[in-house]
Amino acid sequence: MPKDDARTEAYGTIDEAVSALGLARAEDIALRDAARLPDAIATLEETLLGLQRDLFVVGAELASNPDSHDRLEDGLTRVDEAMLDRLEALLADVEAAVEMPREFTVPGADRLSAAFELARAVVRRAERRVITLERDGLVAGEWALPYLNRLADLLWVLARQAEQALGTTTTKVRIEG
């Protein structure tokens, strides 16, 4: 398969998202090791590792040949509704603990939130690539696209949670028109 094939682009972008989450996880570990990790985000490493594992499932689904879609297994090689439900529950929990800004936020208040923002941007790109695959009938199941959409939302909220937990000041941009 060519390196610029739509499926290769999609699962390659998922791989980038896994790596960007790895950056966030490494920053989380560094903060914890330096005793600078507030209790509000103390369980973040486990959460991030779980999200990385989920993205491997997304990647497996996207990499699968359409002739093999019937052999994929829910939750292992194909995104299933239970994965989306877990993500939705996590998003609801984090949203409940975060004060949401009313303006656009500029990434870079701290390294952890910036890593989340980078991961979010990569996941949004993956989402766009999956839309192309769906249009061409190359996605095995119905849950990969909603999973990526909600994951990007979660990463945005995790960036806000990190900023608030670390006490960093978020740069905000008000769009007036």
For the segment 57-82, what is each residue's pLDDT rounded down to a tens digit?
Answer: 999 999 999 999 999 999 999 999 99
Confidence of residue 175 (pLDDT cuts 50, 70, 90): low
The residues, ordered by sequence, that sit 6+ positions from 44 with a Cβ below 8 Å of its Cβ are: 25, 28, 37, 158
The residues, ordered by sequence, that sit 6+ positions from 155 with a Cβ below 8 Å of its Cβ are: 116, 117, 119, 120, 123
Burial of 177 (0-12, 13-18, 19+ CB in 10 A): exposed
CA distances from 138 to 18, 63, 82, 152 (A): 21, 9, 22, 22
Cβ pair 55, 14 in contact under 8 A: yes
Cβ pair 37, 48 in contact under 8 A: no
Residue with tokens 């297994």: 73
Q: Vertex 87, ends 154 and 101: CA angle to 5°?
A: 25
Cβ pair 24, 110 in contact under 8 A: no
Q: What proportion of the chain, given as a percentage, has pLDDT over 90?
A: 71
Please give the pLDDT value at position 119: 98
- Taking only the tens place, the pLDDT of each residue in 91-133 is 999 999 999 888 888 888 899 999 999 999 999 999 999 999 9
Structure tokens at 44: 């973040």
**pLDDT(35) > 90:** no
Which pTM value belongs to this model?
Answer: 0.92
